[in-house]
Amino acid sequence: MIMKDKNVEKRVLITGGTGFIGRELCRLLPGEGFSPVVLSRGLTRGPQRGFGAAGESVKFVEWDGRSVGGWMKELDGAFAIINIAGSNIGEGRWNEGVRKKILNSRIEAGMAVLEALERVKAKPRVIIQGSALGYYAGKGDALISEGGESGGGFLAGVVKRWEKTTMDAASMGIRHVVARSGLVIGRGSLLLNRLETPMKLFFGGPLGSGRQWVSWIHLEDEARAMLYLLENDNLRGVFNLTSPVPVRNAVLMKALGRAIGRPSWFRVPAHLLRVALGEMADELILSGMRVIPSRLLAAGFEFRYPEIDTAMKRIYRAV
């Protein structure tokens, strides 16, 4: 059932809302009658940077990422909160300090959100808790749906703890949704920016064997799926946010090459990736998984960009 009550306050808080996914959410939410409130650090540097015209519809609130002070009043009486705060897992090599930052940025934010939910009088209807496919243990060609087993390793540990931070919201009568996102691709994404340069110089191609699966989703579909989960009152629990058509790494690289008019013929050996990226190479690039959005499809969500070629053409249509 889709929520259409116009008398309900439709304020939506977004933690980490100045990020890649948060900006797209802020672009879509006002068109559906929602009022985005972005909670983020460093707003003194210019909160509307990167939002374009959508920034005019957004309220920006300073937040330290770990406490409830200064923003809890925005949550009181709001319709929802989307918790996607956390440092980017692909920004740098995973040394001890980076791993600590990746974990703590998510745990501290989630704990603060839960505390705020406990303290406000008029609680939101729903919380969408960000997560990632790093949760799963599956490898190889096996299809993985939301019932897949959890894995080991650094990312799996982070994701499992991240999801648990707000789980107690359900006991407060708040609808709790976990959005396990795949590789989100769109213009300006960190990954595509890194892959474009060698591809444009005719050095682009498969990473490692190229046979590892990539479970991806176009940025627009990612934000639309979160909006769908926000509006449908009967949806709760875990949802995979990925295209229904995962592809092998070599196929993704060929699609990127076609979109920007370059061949995909230079294979990057696995050992070079490990030298350059360390542990991150194996967990993010070389060991893929074939994940499908079973529950999202069963709920009736329709993807605009289910195929990788269509998605890449959309991203690079102006190139």
**pLDDT over 60 (residue 294):** yes
Helix (H, G, I), strand (E, B) or coil at 244: coil
pLDDT in tens, 92-119: 788 999 999 999 999 999 999 999 999 9
Provide the pLDDT for residue 275. 86
Res 235 pLDDT > 50: yes
- Per-residue confidence band for 283, with pLDDT thresholds at 50, 70 and 90: confident
Q: Is pLDDT larger for residue 23 or for residue 317?
A: 23
162-189: average pLDDT: 96
Calculate the average pLDDT of the chain. Answer: 91
Share of the chain above pLDDT 90, in %: 76
Three-state secondary-structure class, residue 240: strand
Q: Which pLDDT belongs to residue 90?
A: 82
Q: What is the mean pLDDT of residues 235-256?
A: 97
Per-residue model confidence (pLDDT) at position 43:
62
| Token reading at 150 | 């959890």
Cα–Cα distances (Å) from 104 to 83, 87, 109, 141, 283, in that order, read 14, 9, 8, 33, 19
- Residue that has been written with the tokens 């999202």 in this structure: 296
For β-strands 290-291 and 143-144, DSSP reports them as parallel
